[in-house]
Amino acid sequence: MADGTSSPASSPTAAEDRAAGGRAAEEAALQDALAAVHAAIWGYGVVGAALPPESRDAVVACELAYLDLRDQLVALLSARRVEPVADEPGHTLPFPVLSPVDAAALAVVLEEGASGTWTWVLDQASERSTRVLAVAALSAAELRAVDWRARAGRTPPTSAFPGLPQA
């Protein structure tokens, strides 16, 4: 400034505060994503139980994908010295799952919920590596959701903007 003092916005402390705030927002979004991953792992157990044995390969693949994603998130948060959010002992189903169509509809709910959290991670991400992870996870969730929407008889099976509310 003209009087010889520095502007608060340009001081190292303000920049560090902005970086810390961005990192805190990113870590909170990652925790939300981890909670959604925990819910998806639990939910796919319900999906699998409602499907005939010959249809369970897709469930196993989805569950394995989420187990891998959980491990990645736990490692990422732990490396940042952030305690990863613990899994809940149980979750509430959004509707009764009494048939294979219900199971597919639940899988859609799980994937759309995961997509929503990954969209939030993208919005809050301050690090490139976090954005790369979020894009990959969001893309994978939408690919899985397309399959499950088709199995549930939903049309169209694709979403124009995965992770965002439908208009």
> Can you spell out the DSSP letters for 73-132?
HHHHHHHTT-PPPPPPS----SS---SHHHHHHHHHHHHHHHHHHHHHHHHH--SHHHHH
- pLDDT band for 65, please (50, 70, 90 cuts): very high
- Does residue 166 or residue 16 have the better pLDDT? 166
At 11 the pLDDT is 52
At 120 the pLDDT is 97
> How far apart are the C-alpha atoms of 51 and 96, rounded to whole Å?
14
Summary mean pLDDT of the chain: 90
pLDDT > 50? residue 7: no
At 18 the pLDDT is 56
Residue 97 burial (10 A CB sphere; 0-12, 13-18, 19+): buried
Each domain of the chain, given as residue ranges in start order, spans 24-81+95-151
For residue range 99-146, list pLDDT tens digits in order.
Answer: 999 999 999 999 999 999 999 999 999 999 999 999 999 999 999 999
At 162 the pLDDT is 81
At 128 the pLDDT is 96
Q: Residue range 91-106: average pLDDT?
A: 96
Q: Which helix (H) or strand (E) holds 17?
A: helix 12-49
> How far apart are the C-alpha atoms of 136 and 152, rounded to whole Å?
24
For residue range 45-64, list pLDDT tens digits in order.
Answer: 999 999 999 999 999 999 99
pLDDT > 80? residue 154: yes
Residue 23 burial (10 A CB sphere; 0-12, 13-18, 19+): middle
CA-CA distances (angstroms) from residue 136 to 45, 54, 64, 141, 143? 23, 29, 15, 9, 11
Instruction: Specify the fold of 24-81+95-151.
Output: Ferritin (1.20.1260)
- Does residue 16 or residue 61 have the better pLDDT? 61
Q: What is the pTM of this model?
A: 0.85
Q: Residue range 136-157: average pLDDT?
A: 95
Q: Residue range 137-166: average pLDDT?
A: 90
